[in-house]
Chain A
Amino acid sequence: GQNIDQPTEMTATEGAIVQINCTYQTSGFNGLFWYQQHAGEAPTFLSYNVLDGLEEKGRFSSFLSRSKGYSYLLLKELQMKDSASYLCAVVLGRLYFGRGTQLTVWP
Chain B
Amino acid sequence: DSGVTQTPKHLITATGQRVTLRCSPRSGDLSVYWYQQSLDQGLQFLIQYYNGEERAKGNILERFSAQQFPDLHSELNLSSLELGDSALYFCASSVGGDTYEQYFGPGTRLTVT
Contact = CB atoms under 8 A, between A and B. Distances in A.
The answer to whether A and B assemble together is yes
Contacts of A31: 100
B45 A94 contact: yes
Q: Say which size band chain A's interface belongs to.
A: 10 to 19
Contact of B42 (A33, A45, A100): A100
A95 B2 contact: no
Interface in A39-81: 40-45, 48
Interface of B is mostly: strand
A33 B100 contact: yes
Which residue, of B4, B48, B102, has the highest number of chain A Cβ atoms within 10 A?
B102
Nearest to A96: B45
Contact of B2 (A33, A42, A97): A42
A97 B88 contact: no
Interface residues of B, number: 21
B34 interface: no
Contacts of A42: 2, 4, 90, 104-107
A38 to B, nearest CB: 11
B17 to A, nearest CB: 23
Contact of B43 (A44, A45, A91, A97): A97
Given A33-B100, A94-B56, A44 B2 contact: yes
Contacts of A94: 45, 48, 56, 58, 100
* Shortest Cβ-Cβ A-B pairs, 10 listed: A42-B104, A99-B42, A97-B43, A43-B104, A94-B56, A91-B100, A42-B106, A95-B100, A42-B107, A42-B105
7 contacts: A33-B101, A42-B4, A43-B90, A44-B2, A45-B102, A94-B56, A100-B43
